[in-house]
Chains A and B, each alone.
Chain A
Amino acid sequence: AQKITQTQPGMFVQEKEAVTLDCTYDTSDQSYGLFWYKQPSSGEMIFLIYQGSYDEQNATEGRYSLNFQKARKSANLVISASQLGDSAMYFCAMREGRNAGNMLTFGGGTRLMVKP
């Protein structure tokens, strides 16, 4: 079974509007971390936001917020006031367990295109 599922291969959003990128995950661990990264065409991975499984509040970082619904195992990324520069690939990722060495597992990604 896929550990991280992103069901939207591509999304369009109008500039200045908000957009939600979906992410569901699968783990039996009680302690885990969820991440969102942005990957522009240059290929670099830009960290956006992190949510720990024990965090009671939804994470927010500027225009990014994470809608964490633990019972549903979903961790959707909300981008408010979209900008043209937000056009990129977005990846949801998960780290399982408390071990500092644990790797990130990535979802398939969503390509976001912001229309002027």
Chain B
Amino acid sequence: GAVVSQHPSRVICKSGTSVKIECRSLDFQATTMFWYRQFPKQSLMLMATSNEGSKATYEQGVEKDKFLINHASLTLSTLTVTSAHPEDSSFYICSARDLINKAGYTFGSGTRLTVV
């Protein structure tokens, strides 16, 4: 079945540094990728939608200059958290639109970001 590989699974970074999270579709072409953020004990909140070869569409309240999304190929989308602060500590998870199976969406395994 469709697989989305997300790396890293866990990262700790210092305040002010940038962190890049990768999501790679392994056996299908992901024309659309969704990026979610999940704070502890809360639900998944959509941050942005990225389409291959075009600029990402950000949800209201999400700073596009802080959360840089690149979807340069049909198999790779990246989220870069720039100048990270402790309040950016969260669980980030990507999801690719997958038209092959009933699930319709394939999720990465998530990245737990801790900013110290």
Seen from chain A, the residues whose Cβ lies within 8 Å of a Cβ on chain B are: 33, 35, 42-45, 47, 50, 91, 95, 100-101, 103-109
Contacts and interface: CB of A to CB of B under 8 A. Distances in A.
A107 B45 CA distance: 10
Contact of B91 (A35, A43, A100): A43
DSSP majority for the B interface?
strand
A104 B34 contact: yes
Contact of A100 (B32, B34, B110): B32
Given A43-B109, A101-B49, A50 B97 contact: no
Contacts of B45: 106
Contact of A44 (B43, B49, B103, B110): B110
A31 to B, nearest CB: 13
The listed residue with most B CB atoms (<10 A of its CB), out of A42, A95, A101, A108, is A101
Contacts of A100: 32, 97, 99
Contacts of A108: 42-43
A104 B103 contact: no
Q: How many B residues are at the interface, by size bracket?
A: 20 to 34
Contact of B34 (A33, A42, A43, A103): A103
B77 interface: no
Contacts of A35: 103-105
With most chain A CB atoms within 10 A of its CB, the pick from B34, B38, B45, B105 is B105
B44 A91 contact: yes
B62 to A, nearest CB: 13
B112 interface: yes
Q: Interface centre among A43, A47, A109, by most B CB within 10 Å?
A: A43
A7 to B, nearest CB: 14
